[in-house]
Each structure stands twice: as C-alpha cells, then as structure tokens.
Chain A
Amino acid sequence: MKYQIRFTLNGEEQELYVPANYTMLRVLRDELNFMGTKEGCGAGECGACTVIADGRPVNACIVLAPEMDGMSIETVEGLAKDGRLTPLQEAFVSHAALQCGFCTPGFLMSATALLRENPHPAREEIIRAISGNLCRCTGYVRIIEAIEDAARDNGQ
C-alpha cells in the first residue's frame, strides 16, 4: 500500500508514492537521492538525520513518510545558495568545527533552526539546541564557537 505525499524540499515541490512504513530519512535518501542527511542510529538518538520541517528541527529517521504530506522540508543541501555558503557554514569551515563530518549536516540544521528562531542565543541556549546531536570527533567546543560566531554575524 503506497501513500501519495506532497511536500516541498528545499523550496521545490515534490510528489511521491511511498510505502507507509518508510521514514522521512529513507524517502530523502533512497527515493530522492538527497544523501546529505545521514543515518547514525535510525532511532532518534543521534541527530545525524536532523532536517528542518516546517521551521523546526526534527530527526528524519523517526518521522513516517505519510506525515511528510504538506510539509516544508529543508536539508543541508538547501543551505548554500548559488554556491555561496551560509554564514553558519562559513563559520564551521573557519573554526574547524568538523572532523569526520558525518554529524555536520545534522548540527548545521539544528543550529540553522535555532538561529532563525533566536538570532542571538546565549551559550546555554546553543548547547540546549544541539544537545540531541552527537559528535564523536570534535568535543563540541568548535561547533559551539562556530554557532556563536555566526550569531554575531547576524547583525543587531
């Protein structure tokens, strides 16, 4: 039994027929070949699959495909426009806020959602916003500094 779902992905309309037991993560990766969103656990526990859905960060691995109907979804592929990185992406590069990079798309999406909601978050608010994202390489400090740096760029 397949469901028809319509949603926007990084601003583009999508219409698909998918099995009800597929997750949003599987739809993005296997049906649409958007590979930037990663699977680290498949159980909503690591944040590697974080995307922004209707403005809020969600773990794509625990959202079922039928729920995507009508959603506006943003993935890491939608951040840079015309080859220009967002200030947050730039900050990740300049702060060396990534090592293996597997967690990076998830952190970028959590932090992007945060900065839209709250352009000048305090350090505690940043930590809260990324506490569902696991990173094994960096020890987090550079990720937090990069987000702070991008927030500073947000103007007053």
Chain B
Amino acid sequence: MDQLKHIGKSYTRSDAVNKVTGSAEYVDDIRLPRMLYAQCVRSPHAHAKILSVDTAAAWAMPGVRAVITGEEYPNRAGLYLEDRYFMAKAGDTAKYRGEAVAAVAAETPEIAQAACAAIRVEYEVLPAVTNAVEGMKADAPVIHPELGSYKVAPIFYPKPGTNISHHYVLRKGDFEVASFQADRVFTHKYYIPHVQHVPMEPHGCIARYDPDGKLTVWASCQSPYAVRQALSVAFGLPLHKIRVISQAVGGGFGAKAGTTLEGIVIPLARQCQGRPVKLVYSREDEFINAYVRQGMHATITTAMRADGKILGVHNEFIWDGGAYTEYGVNITKAGGWGSAGPYDIENVWTDSYCVYTNHPVGGPYRGFGMCEIHFAIEQNIDQIAHEMGLSEVEIRRINALCPGGHTGMGEKMDVAGYAECLEQVIRDIEYDVPSVQVSPTKIRAKGIAGGWKSPSMPTNAGSSAILRMNEDGTFFLMSSGQELGQGAATVLPQIAAEVLSVPPHMIAFVSGDTDHTPYEWQTVASRTTYCAGNACKLAAENLRDKLLDLAQIKMGAVKRDLELCDGYIVHKIYPERRIPMKDLALGITFDDGSGYGGPAIGVGTFTLENNINTDKKTGVATHHPAAFWTMGANGVEVEVDTETGHIKVLKMCSCFDAGKVINPALFCAQSEGAMVQALGTALFEELKLKDGKVLNPSFVDYKIPTADDMPELIPKFVEYAEPTGPYGARGAGEPLMVPGAPAIANAVFNAIGVRFTKMPITPEDVLNALKP
C-alpha cells in the first residue's frame, strides 16, 4: 500500500471545540416554541394485572394538554422480537416495577407531575419472577402468555408457554466424547448481576406532530434508523412520515441503542398537534427505566488434557432478560457465539437461555454479553490452571486462537492477534515479576485475562454514506454512523480524507437525521468504524472515480495515469500537469460555454457479503456469521487491604488487535475509558434488586468510578489488518472493556487466594472471605 497520509494519525476530535465551550447541543438543550412537558405514571408492582386506569382527574387539571394510557398502542414492537407495547394496557399486565401505565403532557413539568399523581390505577398483584433460574422452571408464573404469537426474527427460538424467549444452541464436535477422553473435567459456576450503563446524559426525547401527519422526533439515541423503524411498526406510520433526529449524544454504551422513551412521547404529541412534547429521564428513571445490563448465571464444564489442552467445553448461560427481551435475545445469542472465548477448542457445546423475569428491561451494554461471559470464561481458565498446577499464562498460550485456527462456532480465522496481545500485556504488567509488597496488610498481586467480541448484528446489516463536494473544494460527509463520544465524527472523515487526499478538517461530518443523512442500521456492536467506515470509503472512492472521469477530459489524459494528491488531480508521470480538484466541483465547462458532469457527489453503500447465518440446528458456522472478531487482553495489578477489605487497582495494561488503528489517540482514549468502566463493574457496580424493586437508583447508592479510583492505565494495540475493513480497521470500543473485570478478579485471587465467582467484589465480600 502507498504511504498513508491521514489514516493512523491522531487528529484532534472534530467535535471538541463545541464540547469544551458548552455549545454542543444535546436533546435537553433544545428549546422549541410552545413546548409541553411529559411525565409518566409507573407501576409500583413487579408483576400485576391492570384492572383499570382512571385519568379523569388528570384531564380536569388546568394546563394538562394530553393524557394517554396503553390504549394508544395498537401494535407490539421490538428489534428482534416484537414483545412490547411502549405502555402496559388495562386488561393486560405490567411486567416490571416502573413500567409506564399512563402519561401526561402539560404546560409545565410540575403540572405534568401533579396530573400523573391524580391518575388512579387499579392493580391485581400477581406472583413475580425475580430469578431467571427459577423462571425457567415448569411451575414459574408465565410473564408473556402470548409469546407464541409474537413476531420474531427467524434466528431466535422462543418457547411459548414458558419464560424462555430464546434458547441458543451450539453443538460443535462432541463434548461427551471430549470429556470421556479428558484427564480431568472441571465444573465452575459464576453469577453476574444487573448493572446500568450510566451515560452521563440521561435519555431524552422531544416529539412534534405536524398537522400534515409528519412526526419529528429529537432523540438522544444511538440509532435513529432503528428508532424510526420501531416507531413505524408501533404506530402504523409510513417511514417517510417519521423523521428522527439525533444530535449530540451524551454517552450511550448500548443504553441508547433501542427505542425506550420515544414511544411514550409520540402519542402525547399526536394529541397536541403542532406542539412539541418533551420527556427527559431523571437519574432514577435512568437506573430503572432505561435499559439495564442483564444478569447472568453461568456454568462452565471443561474437559482438560493433562498437558493443559482444552478438549472441550460445555457452557450454560442463563440470562435474566427482564420484562421484555426484544433486544436481549440477541445478547443471549452473542453470548453463545463468543462462548469459547479467544481459544481454539474442538468441542464446544453451549446452551444460552434468555429468560423473562419481572426485572427492569435488559438491553445491550458495551460488550454485548462478552463482559458477562468472560468474567466466567477467564476465571475458569485461571481456576483450572491453578487446580492442575499449570501456569495461567501457559494454559492461555496452549489454547490461544491463532491464525488458521477455528472459533467456537467453527469459523476458520485468517487473522487473530490474541496471542501477541497476551504477550504484550504480560510484558507490560511484568507478570512473571512478583508484586513488591509494601505492607503486611496490603497485599499486592497481578492478574491477566483475555477476551474477544464480534459484532452480533444481522448478517445483512447495511450502511451508507453520501459525500458532497463544495465549490471551494471542501466536503460534506453524510452518514448516520452516530457520534456518541467514541469518535465517529473524527474517524469517518479521516477515512474519506485518505481516499480524497485532502486534510480531514476540509470534510464536515453530518449525521443523525433520517430525512437527510442516509441509512445506517445502528451505531452499536463496535461496527461503526468498520461498516460506516466502509460506506464512507466507498463514497469517497465513488467521488474520486467521478472526478477522475471528468479530469481525463479536462486534462486530456488517461484516467489510469491520474491521481488525487493534496487537493489536486495530478498526472502520475508528468506531475507538473495538475488541476485543483475544486475546479471539478460543479463539473466541467467547455470553451463554448456548455457544461458537463454536474455537481460532484459520491455515494457508498456497504453490506458485508457472504456473511451467512450459522446452521439452524447445531449453531455451527459453515462460513462467516461474524463480520470480524476483535481480540485482546488485560494485565492488572491490585492491592487488597486485608483489614478493610478495600481493593485498589494500581495498574491496568491493555493490548488489543484492532486491525489498522485509524486514530491512535482516540483508540487509546476508548481503551482507557473501557478499562475504568470494567473496573467499576468488577468492584462496585450492581443494580440491587429485591422483589423486582431497584434499591439503589442514585449515585449515592450506585457508585461508578471517580478520578480517585483511576489506576495507572497503559493502552496498547497491535495491527493485524482486517481483510474486509476500511484500510484494515476493525471495531474496538466494546471489546476493550471485556477482559478488565476477570483480570481484576484473577489478581484478587492471586493476592489473597480467594476466588470470587460473583461480581462486584466488595470490601464486605473480601472481609467475609478472609474471616478465619
């Protein structure tokens, strides 16, 4: 490849100046004329039949402009499984504590709140399912009796009459034979509780219904097109009558991937035609009524040969999907796909169950199942190593997935940088050098863990981009790959800039408007640099091609001899023959005044070809079901205070194979954020649930890491190009978080010899474990 000019350079963020001056506009910052404010009435019961909803008193209040109940929702909607109305209906059941049962739009937030308090709802309390394992039992109350009639994507298998909304099955090889041949077989169990994403910006939405039937929605969302689709299904509206706009998004981490509060605001707006209605979640709402990360019970049985080779694994993952699993079914599937970890194992059997419970709705969270399963997988490996007297490093080296090896699903891997990442973190954390002890009551030790992830997206997920050239040689790159903080608005223009050979600052990035920026399936799954990046690259190549077509006429040269170089079209053999690219922005004009070729615009569309579903029965891949796998490892050092139980993480080293890294500074920034987020889940984050009630919906009771908790962070990468990625890039934002929590748990074991199979590992847990 020629020397890259803009790829691999740490350009500053294109959104930085707006963000440091307070001018970036988030949904809650939008003020529209005559705006109304919405509030919801929410079920105080985990599971209850709604007998009646009486809204008369609310309607009677001055300043109330609309009141809605579940009656407003004709159709169920959902991403993969259409299992939810946006509001529970009378006659039906409210399925978690906090589910909306009515909503009000009023002139002020205070009036809306008072009106909500005046709405009377009669409930008949039903027995609740508050544990996924219990929920699978034959005698458990069934939360969705109509499951059999729900529309579902054909790769998911609900079990009508039960609470199981998807049973993912993988049967590669024969685990029974493997365990028969094994020298030792181990079974270990783990539990991962619910956590919340905690984006600093709570969810918000404004909707306005114009008299001509056009609905405009301003949403703090990751995926405007997915929101548009869900709203279209739920309300029976044609897509050209819905416009979803997503401006600055204050962090998503998956929480803003689906459709949540948008569905509540729309019927209110419909009743108040022409007047915008706004709903912004409180922090308490955010903890309860946005998505949460599903809880998970894992059991891993491993067949080992004496020399440390893993002959087979059998995984059982039981996911606590919450009241609705329209999105959760796919996390269950992703957990199955990734269930072997970044290891080459011949016999892999996995059963992954998505179970309805009367808990808050589970949804995608950075890592999409991988953080959860790797807390199990990577501790399991350390435990086995320990029990067999092997080294934790050696057992990983023996089993690491290498180029030419096969994934748990049976895909052959041509590129796999796991082993190298592992060696890098072992060097960076100096794993073979014991920690220096500073105090007899503060025990230091190190731990390692690996991890991987692929985008668990529909095999045909599409991306598109439009690149417009202006008369002065600047550009607009239009894509609905959203900037969530991860850097899309910087990295995508860098990709186009490389093709066009212009500085990235000459390309303005425009996104987040379904009426104006082209289709993007979703900004999730660490797919944006890869999928939207490919679309942007193709759009730039399309534009380049058109410019060269015109240039060969204008320059009297053959196209193959021309190239774009620093804003010019240059003859490769006679470089003094050149014209500014901008001269072609509106086509060319001949001496007689006639024009040709029109304004310059490039279009790129990307769908990964030959991305094929796995075998229906066995889950085994005949080809590639995953677009790519991103692998890496963490090495950490911790200090455990045996008197207070407090665990301090001193250092975290990360190395990932991200393919070609487009912007190293932004990659490292993502890596640092991911490590600290993982640290939070390992040591303090848990959504405490009792009888379906969230007990800690505030920052006082739900701690996330602060600057005080920050360890020394060493982010690194290796670059084995992804063959189908733009300039060899693959996604990284989520995988970077995966190994952090198990690496910390492994380090804690190495410090005090206690294995914690549940996270978070709190001071109380440590003290209890150390009690003589």
| Docked complex: A128-152 residues within 8 A CB-CB of B | 130-144
Question: Is the pair A134, B251 in contact by a Cβ cutoff of 8 Å?
Answer: no
Question: Is the pair A94, B26 in contact by a Cβ cutoff of 8 Å?
Answer: no
The docked-state distance in angstroms from the alpha carbon of A14 to that of B199 is 33
Question: Is the pair A101, B713 in contact by a Cβ cutoff of 8 Å?
Answer: no
CB of B432 closer than 8 Å to a CB of A: no
Question: Is the pair A48, B200 in contact by a Cβ cutoff of 8 Å?
Answer: yes
Q: Mark B683-724, 1 if CB is under 8 A from A, else 0.
A: 000000000000000111000111110100100000000000
CB of B82 closer than 8 Å to a CB of A: no
Question: Is the pair B21, A99 in contact by a Cβ cutoff of 8 Å?
Answer: no
Question: Is the pair A108, B20 in contact by a Cβ cutoff of 8 Å?
Answer: yes
Question: Is the pair A45, B700 in contact by a Cβ cutoff of 8 Å?
Answer: yes
CB of B231 closer than 8 Å to a CB of A: no
Question: Is the pair A101, B202 in contact by a Cβ cutoff of 8 Å?
Answer: no
CB of A127 closer than 8 Å to a CB of B: yes
Question: Is the pair B28, A142 in contact by a Cβ cutoff of 8 Å?
Answer: no
Q: Known: A98-B13, A100-B199. Contact between A137 and B485, CB under 8 A? A: yes
Give chain A's interface residue range (CB within 8 Å of chain B): 35 or more
Question: Is the pair B20, A99 in contact by a Cβ cutoff of 8 Å?
Answer: no
Question: Is the pair B698, A139 in contact by a Cβ cutoff of 8 Å?
Answer: no
Question: Is the pair A138, B200 in contact by a Cβ cutoff of 8 Å?
Answer: no
Number of residues in B with C-beta < 8 Å to the partner? Answer: 56
Question: Is the pair B17, A136 in contact by a Cβ cutoff of 8 Å?
Answer: no
Q: Known: A93-B17, A93-B20, A99-B673. Contact between A134 and B700, CB under 8 A? A: no
Shortest CB–CB separation between residue A38 and chain B, in angstroms? 7
Query: Which one of B158-166, B174-182, B453-461, B664-672 is at the interface?
Result: B664-672
The docked-state distance in angstroms from the alpha carbon of A37 to that of B22 is 7
**Which of A99, A108, A141 gathers most chain B CB within 10 Å?**
A99
Q: Known: A140-B710, A142-B669. Contact between A80 and B199, CB under 8 A? A: no
Question: Is the pair A85, B21 in contact by a Cβ cutoff of 8 Å?
Answer: yes
Name the A residues within 8 Å of B197 (CB-CB). 136
Interface of A is mostly: loop
CB of A40 closer than 8 Å to a CB of B: yes
| Docked complex: A45-101 residues within 8 A CB-CB of B | 45-46, 48, 75-77, 79-80, 85, 89, 92-94, 96, 98-101
Closest to A127 in B: B707
CB of B32 closer than 8 Å to a CB of A: no
Question: Is the pair B198, A136 in contact by a Cβ cutoff of 8 Å?
Answer: yes
**Which of A103, A132, A139 gathers most chain B CB within 10 Å?**
A139
CB of A36 closer than 8 Å to a CB of B: yes
Question: Is the pair A93, B16 in contact by a Cβ cutoff of 8 Å?
Answer: yes
Shortest CB–CB separation between residue B366 and chain A, in angstroms? 10
Question: Is the pair A94, B12 in contact by a Cβ cutoff of 8 Å?
Answer: yes
Q: Known: A38-B201, A139-B713, A143-B707. Contact between A101 and B24, CB under 8 A? A: yes
Q: Known: A141-B710, A144-B707. Contact between A36 and B251, CB under 8 A? A: no
Shortest CB–CB separation between residue A148 and chain B, in angstroms? 12
CB of B606 closer than 8 Å to a CB of A: no
Question: Is the pair A39, B199 in contact by a Cβ cutoff of 8 Å?
Answer: no
List, sorted by A's number, 21 A–B pairs whose CB atoms are closer than 8 Å: A34-B22, A36-B21, A38-B28, A38-B201, A40-B200, A42-B282, A43-B698, A45-B700, A76-B20, A76-B22, A77-B21, A85-B17, A93-B20, A96-B669, A99-B485, A99-B487, A100-B201, A100-B248, A100-B485, A136-B251, A139-B672
Top 3 nearest A-B pairs (CB, nearest first) are A36-B22, A100-B485, A101-B19
Other 15 A-B pairs with CB < 8 A, given A38-B26, A139-B674, A139-B710: A29-B29, A35-B25, A40-B202, A41-B699, A43-B699, A75-B22, A100-B485, A101-B24, A102-B199, A102-B248, A102-B251, A127-B707, A136-B198, A136-B677, A137-B251
